[in-house]
Amino acid sequence: MATVRRRTLEEQLTPQQRRAAQLIVQNDWAELLSEDGRKKTMQEIAEEVGIARSTLYEWKAQEQFIEYVNYLTDKQLESMRSEVNVAIMKAIRGGNNGLPSVKALDLYMRRWGLLTNVEVIDDRRERIESRRKTDEEVRKDIAELDAMINGNEAG
């Protein structure tokens, strides 16, 4: 399935655009994944692909290019899932300060469907609106109150 999506996205781009997208994603992750943590400038990426920097910026605004960059980024994230799971488990076990993280526990429980949100529905307004009186009922109540007041004054 992922292969079909990748192929579909790649077919919409030129080889230069695909290479530019790959370099952009690599560059975005450079701080974390490269040995020196150095990020390239857009000018350096454009030169490596063999295009003008302005062309690179034009591509970055195109829907197909953006979709391909997002696809590559999602794949990079998927490859790091085990690191995320290890970090969550470290936080659950106490992390740096020795205290278990409630947030990490919450994430773990939600991830495995052991904790779900409960939605409370407040229907008081509907019940109040359903008890509203018609104009005729209000007139009748007023008449009864008038009769009680007049009856008390007379008595």
In 12-52, alpha helices (H): 15-28, 30-33, 42-49
- b/e string for 111-133 if b means 16 or more Cβ within 10 A? eeeeeeeeeeeeeeeeeeeeeee
Does 89 fall in a domain? no
Domain harbouring 62, CATH code:
1.10.10
Last residue of a domain, one of 60, 79, 98: 79
* Predicted TM-score (pTM) above 0.85: no
Q: 1 by DSSP, 3-state: which?
A: coil
Q: What is the pLDDT of residues 106-145, one digit of tens each?
A: 888 888 888 777 777 777 766 666 678 889 999 999 999 9
Determine contact, residues 21/72, Cβ cutoff 8 Å: yes
Q: List pLDDT tens digits, range 76-109.
A: 988 888 888 898 899 999 888 888 888 888 888 8
Specify the number of domains making up the chain: 2
Q: Please check whether residues 73 and 7 belong to one and the same domain.
A: yes
Q: Which of 50, 79, 108 is the last residue of a domain?
A: 79
| 115 domain residue, yes or no | no
Cα(73)–Cα(26) distance, integer angstroms: 9
Find the domain containing 47 and state its range.
2-79
Domain presence at residue 142: yes
